């Protein structure tokens, strides 16, 4: 079971069912599905999105920072990100680009590929002055 699930169960002092948590969350304006709530309560979940954490925080009365820490997410800032005032000068295209950079930073890093024995041997060699080339040499003057 995950640390987040253990925290949710411990903070569920009223013993609310997943369906009851979901209904209360929807009554407060959140879109927490009862199946999602059940997965989080039993520990069969992935990385939570922000709206799920906010719903649990509000319904169970647990701080958002505490939920984030249990989910191994940054917990030091819990208010929404607001770009600096100068960001108003960005074009629509630039804003989309900034949004994509933010999304890319929030995605988990891809799993590293295993190092083969050959890669390990190559990596342990001292660096040489020039890189090896393949193919014909470039003509002079380019």
Q: CATH number of the domain at 64, please.
A: 1.10.260
Could you tell me if residue 64 is inside a domain? yes
What local confidence, expressed as pLDDT, does residue 73 receive?
87
Of 40 and 111, more confident: 40
Could you tell me if residue 87 is inside a domain? no
The closest alpha carbon to 45, from 20, 22, 71, 26, belongs to 71
Of 32 and 116, more confident: 32
Instruction: Domain count for the chain, please give it.
Output: 1
Of 49 and 113, more confident: 49
Query: Is the CB of residue 74 less than 8 Å from the CB of residue 65?
Result: no
Could you tell me if residue 35 is inside a domain? yes
- Residue 40: C-alpha distances to residues 22, 53, 136 (Å): 12, 10, 59
CA distance 119 to 62: 48
Could you tell me if residue 55 is inside a domain? yes
**Distinct helix (H) and strand (E) counts, the chain:** 7, 0
**∠44-48-53 over CA atoms, to 5°?**
115
Could you tell me if residue 25 is inside a domain? yes
| Tens of pLDDT, residues 71-129 | 988 888 767 788 999 999 999 999 999 999 988 888 765 655 555 555 555 554 544 54
What local confidence, expressed as pLDDT, does residue 105 receive?
86
State yes or no: pLDDT of 132 exceeds 90. no
What local confidence, expressed as pLDDT, does residue 127 receive?
47
Could you tell me if residue 8 is inside a domain? yes
> What domain range includes position 39?
3-70
Indicate the average pLDDT of the chain. 82
Query: Is the CB of residue 51 less than 8 Å from the CB of residue 20?
Result: no
Q: What percentage of the chain carries pLDDT values higher than 70?
A: 75
Could you tell me if residue 20 is inside a domain? yes
Could you tell me if residue 28 is inside a domain? yes
Of 51 and 127, more confident: 51
């Amino acid at each position: 079971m995950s640390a987040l699930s253990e925290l949710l169960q411990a903070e569920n002092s009223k013993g609310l069912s997943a369906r009851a948590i979901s209904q209360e969350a929807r009554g407060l304006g959140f879109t927490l599905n009862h199946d999602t709530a059940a997965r989080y309560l039993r520990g069969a979940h992935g990385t939570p999105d922000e709206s799920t954490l906010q719903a649990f925080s509000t319904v169970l009365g647990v701080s958002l920072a505490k939920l984030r820490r249990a989910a191994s997410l940054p917990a030091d800032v819990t208010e929404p990100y607001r770009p600096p005032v100068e960001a108003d000068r960005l074009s629509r295209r630039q804003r989309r680009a900034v949004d994509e950079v933010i999304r890319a930073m929030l995605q988990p890093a891809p799993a590293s590929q295993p190092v083969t024995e050959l890669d390990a041997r190559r990596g342990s060699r001292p660096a040489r002055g020039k890189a090896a080339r393949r193919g014909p040499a470039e003509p002079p003057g380019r």
